[in-house]
Each structure stands twice: as C-alpha cells, then as structure tokens.
Chain A
Amino acid sequence: MTASSTALAGRSLLRVGPLTVPMRRRPVLVAVTLVLLLAAAVVLSLSLGTPYVAPADVLRALSGAGTPYDLVVLDLRLPRAVLAALAGAAFGVAGTLIQSVARNPLASPDVIGVTQGAGLAATVALTSGAAAVLVAPAALVGGLVAAVLVFALGARHGLAAQRFVLAGVAVAFALRALTEVVMLSADPIDGLRAQLWLIGTLAGKGWTEAAWIAGTLAALLPVLLWAGWALRSTALDDDTARGIGLRPVARRVGLAATGVLAAATVTAQVGAVDFVALVAPQVARRLVRAERPPLLCSALLGALLLVLADLAGRRLFAPTQLPAGVLTAAIGGPYLIFLLLRTRGRRS
C-alpha cells in the first residue's frame, strides 16, 4: 500500500499483480470487523439450543476432531447457519444492486416484483399438489419472469430509476393480488403452507438450499467484481455518464439483472426474508460512511443479520420457533432508525 496525491482523497492504493484499486481504510476495517462478528455469530448459533454445546466444543467439532456433539453441531445446526449466512449475503448483494439502480434506499426485491413473482409461483406449486422439490425451481422462474416484465415496462425509458420503481411496484401489486386469489381459492391447509413460505423461514432447510445460493453467487462472482466498480457510476445522471464514456443504460440493465438473479435465487430457497435486502445496504453504507452502499460490506452485514435473526427466532421463544423473516425486521429496523437519527444529528 502506498499513499498518493490529494486526488486519491484519503485512499491508499492496493496493488495485486495487474490489479490496482484505491481503497479507503474504513471499509476495510468494517469488512474485517464484520467477518469476525459473523464468525462469532455462527459459533454462537451452533452453540445455543437444546442441547447447549459449549463454544469450545463447537470449535472442536468444526475442526473435525470427532466429538459427541458432531451430530448436533455438524449435521443439525451447521447446515442451517451456513444457509443463513449465504442467504443473508445474497440478499445484501441483491439489495445493494437494486437500490443503486433504482436510486432509492427503500428499494428491495419486493419493490421490483421479484418476491411477488416467486411468491405467486410458489403458492401455485404449494396449492396445486406439485412435488415439494418443484416449489423452489418454480419460485425461481416466477421471480425471474416478474423481473423480465418489470424490465420490459421500464425499458422504453432506459430503465430510468423512477420508471423502474414504478413498473416494479405495479407488477408487485398485480402479482400479490393474484397470489391472494390463488391462496383464498385453495384448500385452507395448503393456503397456510403458502403463507408460511411467503414469510420466509430457514426451518427444515440446509445444504441443498445453501448449495443453490452458493452456486449462484459463485457463478456471479466475476460479474460482482465488475459490479463493485460499476456501482460507483449509478449515482451520476445519464448525460454526465455518457460524457465520461459510459453506457449508462447497458450498465443499469447489467447491474439490475445481476441483483435480480441473486434475489430470485435466494427468495426461491428461503422465501421472502426481504427486509435483509432493504436494511443491510443502508446500514453498511452508514458504517463505511460512503455515498452509496458498498457491495462486500452489505453482503457481510446481510449474512450477519440473517444468522442472528435465525438464531433469535429459534431461541427467543423456545420451544416456539419464529420464522427468520419476522426477526430480521425486528432486529434491523430499530438499528436503521438509530443510524438515521445519529446521522441527522451530526449533519445539522
């Protein structure tokens, strides 16, 4: 790392082979802290429950030493914790991309119809007696189809922020209404299952769902490396962006499509735990004090948030289990409010 001119605005240059990236110190510190907190949260999540397993035993089980707790820690709790971390990270990525393209801090997968598309497809699958393994693939397709619809509606204006959000809200409402119709005309038990799916839960899920999300994120990795760089120009207006040699419409479509893929994949696997996508980018942005949500820190924060939410849902009212979707809002909401109040106080 070497420091340079005032032009770098307090950044240091990170050089790795052909890679040259100016970086501020704060996002790096935040990212490292989040990784440590995430590790601690995962250990805690493997430790708490019935039976309780001491953290030291959790670590020994994880190291493959062979302990009496292997079944509880490695087979029962680990898959769910890994799923929570991966799903949270995917929601964080999706939220960052969608909020940046929509230029709207309130945007999340449910604002552009992805959640509702997945929800409608899942509801149809759950109430029509389709095989259980078909629910997630159906939801994935449903989410993607809804997004294509939103893109088509927004395309005439180059997927401009406001148009994108309006098209999304319109599609989301229409799909939600359809979902209600399907649910109300279905067998009440099936309707209830569909409703639980829509809230989003990690209960009874594990390696299969985690693998889907991990695979998608891995496949998107090259795009995400580009996106981390491309995101910084989404706040510029189109004329300015063209002036400096960018193609803003192509960029928006690429970034939004990446966000939609992440959102549809994770929603299909764990349901509509949307609040993570809404809150993680905004909290991360305030933690790193940047003008836009940071991709990596949002992903890490999303992971941390969902691991904690799932843990709280399992333990707070044990033996009653609350779905993670309920808890993310309960934890993330107040924290965002706290950050908003603190930022306002400092600015004025």
Chain B
Amino acid sequence: MTAMLSTRDLVVGYETRTVLDGLDLDLPADAFTVIVGPNACGKSTLLRTMARLLTPRRGAVLLDGTAIRDLPTREVARRLGVLPQSPLVPEGITVADLVGRGRQPYQRWWRQWSAEDGRAVDEAMAMADVAELADRPVDTLSGGQRQRVWIAMTLAQDTEALLLDEPTTFLDLAHQVEVLDLLHRLRAERGRTVVAVLHDLNQAARYADHLVAMRAGAVVAAGPPREILTADLVRDVFGLDCVVVPCPVTGAPLVVPALTHTSAAPAATPAPAGASVGDA
C-alpha cells in the first residue's frame, strides 16, 4: 500500500503529560481509515497532530513523504482538509457562505472569488446534500444538517485527504449513518483518502477499509477490520469482554459486549447458538 499520511517517531504532549511517545504509523492512500480506542488513548491527539492543529515535540508528520511543517499552511490546506471535533458556527452565517470558506486556500484579498470557487462550492453542497439549504443560516439547522454543512466546507477545499475528529458525536443514529455513508462515497466515488476518529466500534468495522486501534498512546493493531477486529483485540484495547459475530447485514465483525456484573439481569432470550464468549 502507498502511504499518504505517515508519522515518524511522533512525540506529542500537553504541558507535563506526554500523550504520544514515539509513534510510527502509515495511513494508506485512497482508503477510509478509522482510528478507535478508549477515551484519552491519544486518538484525537494523533488526528489533530496529523492535521497540524497540534505541534509535535519531536518527530514528524509526513504528507506524501514531505514533512508537513516544512510546507506552507496554505499549500497543506489545498491537500488536506480538517473537520475539528466541535467547530464554532459563526453567528448568522449562511450555508453557502460557510461552505465558501473552504475556498480560502485558493483565494487572496484581491482575488476573492473565481469560477473554480463557484464550481467547487456548488459541487461540495450537492455532494453533502445541503444545496437546498444554501441560503439558510447555519445556526438554525439541526445537528445532522450542520455536520453535513461542515463536511461540505472541507469538501469545497478540494483536497486529496480529509481528516475528521469524531464526526458522528452528538448525532442520532440515522444522522450518524448519513454522515458515514457520505464519507464512504467520498472514498468510493471520488477516491479521496478519509481518516476519521470514531467511538463506535461497529460503525468503524462496517465502514473502515483500514482500522487503527490505539491504547495509551500506542497503536495496538492496524489493518482491515475483518482481519484484526477480534474479541482478544477488544479486550486488549478496551478491557472489555465481548463476542464478535458477523454482522447480519454486511458480514463485517460485530462487537457485542459480554454480560458483566453490572448488566447481569438475565436476558429474556438465550444467546444465539454458536456465539461464544471471547474468553472461552
């Protein structure tokens, strides 16, 4: 596989705490990579460092082999789009205006608009299905619509790669699926490299081409979900006993937590035959 984004000996921390300590990682081009791991494992820190929102203490993030800190931020923004975890919606801004901000890396104060800008913004709004909302103020939209608008903004940036920090958090299930479907289409139809941090293991398994499981600032396993997502891995990474069964819809691994003391109320129906608890 060709790596588009890589990290070499990456050390990142906040004040006295070191979060990532010498991380080496290669993320494949033209794939949907999902990073999973327990809270505070450093997955968001990794994503934010790759997006140059955090500066590493040591080591480097490589974009197509070039250290990202050696590239002008404007050039990086033409190749790498970022959706932070909870971006602030400017008060009163309309959908078309916000999506248009994605064209910033192509604009100058004397050339604030081009035909190419118009094309990219229209296409991004169509792709994210927010074209009908173009004139609406973003702060009047629902959470799901709002998230699609933010994704449209990063699409308007017209980058080869897109990094998203927990893009489905705060969305209900239907909107989560909507956003993940959109990311899937970006990879499948547009050949974009997509990297996202997700909380839901089953969604990760369903959508990811490449799964990265992290614990305590280190990568425990990386590869296609069907190859690496096992009960052992889940126990190793999350400290949770579980059953892994094939998803009835997609056949991807489906993680079902085992009965624990706190959820020990007997189930009304017995566990399906053939399913075995992970520690068996």
Q: A244 contacts which chain B residues (CB < 8 A)?
A: 77, 101-102, 104-105, 153, 157
- From the candidates A9, A242, A246, name the one contacting B94 in the complex (CB within 8 A): A9
Q: A13 contacts which chain B residues (CB < 8 A)?
A: 113
Tally of B interface residues using CB under 8 Å: 48
Residue on B nearest A16 in the bound complex, by CB: B110
Q: A246 contacts which chain B residues (CB < 8 A)?
A: 73, 104
C-beta contact mask, A282-320 vs B, less than 8 Å → 1, else 0?
A: 000000001110000000000000000000000000000
CB contact list, B48-65 vs A, under 8 A: 48, 51-53
- The number of chain A residues touching the other chain, given as a range, is 20 to 34
Max chain B CB contacts within 10 Å: which of A19, A240, A246, A247?
A240
CB contact list, B123-144 vs A, under 8 A: 125, 131, 134-135
> Is the pair B97, A9 in contact by a Cβ cutoff of 8 Å?
yes
Q: A242 contacts which chain B residues (CB < 8 A)?
A: 51-53, 73, 82
B78 within 8 A of A: yes
Q: B119 contacts which chain A residues (CB < 8 A)?
A: 5
Q: Complex Cα distance A235/B139, Å?
A: 13
> Is the pair B113, A243 in contact by a Cβ cutoff of 8 Å?
no
Q: Complex Cα distance A247/B115, Å?
A: 25
- From the candidates B51, B87, B122, B157, name the one contacting A5 in the complex (CB within 8 A): B122
C-beta contact mask, A160-182 vs B, less than 8 Å → 1, else 0?
A: 00000000000000000000000
If A9-B135, A18-B111, A245-B74 touch, whether A237 touches B87 (CB-CB below 8 Å) is yes
Max chain B CB contacts within 10 Å: which of A7, A9, A229?
A7
B121 within 8 A of A: yes
Q: B115 contacts which chain A residues (CB < 8 A)?
A: 4
Q: A5-B122, A7-B117, A9-B100 are in contact. List 12 more A-B contacts (CB 8 A).
A: A7-B96, A7-B122, A22-B113, A228-B109, A232-B101, A236-B88, A239-B53, A239-B87, A242-B51, A242-B52, A243-B53, A244-B102
B84 within 8 A of A: yes
C-beta contact mask, A127-150 vs B, less than 8 Å → 1, else 0?
A: 000000000000000000000000
Q: Complex Cα distance A6/B119, Å?
A: 10
B99 within 8 A of A: yes
A346 to B: closest C-beta gap in Å: 12
A233 within 8 A of B: yes
Q: Report, nearest first, the 4 A-B pairs whose CB atoms are least far apart.
A: A245-B77, A235-B90, A243-B82, A7-B121
Interface residues of A (CB under 8 A from B): 4-10, 13, 18-22, 225-226, 228-230, 232-233, 235-237, 239-240, 242-247, 290-292
Interface residues of B (CB under 8 A from A): 48, 51-53, 73-78, 81-84, 87-88, 90-94, 96-97, 99-102, 104-105, 109-115, 117-119, 121-122, 125, 131, 134-135, 153-154, 157
Q: Complex Cα distance A18/B51, Å?
A: 33
- From the candidates B88, B91, B92, B99, name the one contacting A7 in the complex (CB within 8 A): B99
> Is the pair B90, A6 in contact by a Cβ cutoff of 8 Å?
no
- A contact face: mostly helix, strand, loop, or mixed: mixed
> Is the pair B134, A240 in contact by a Cβ cutoff of 8 Å?
no
> Is the pair B87, A21 in contact by a Cβ cutoff of 8 Å?
no
- From the candidates A4, A6, A245, name the one contacting B73 in the complex (CB within 8 A): A245
B120 to A: closest C-beta gap in Å: 8
A268 to B: closest C-beta gap in Å: 29
Q: Complex Cα distance A5/B114, Å?
A: 11
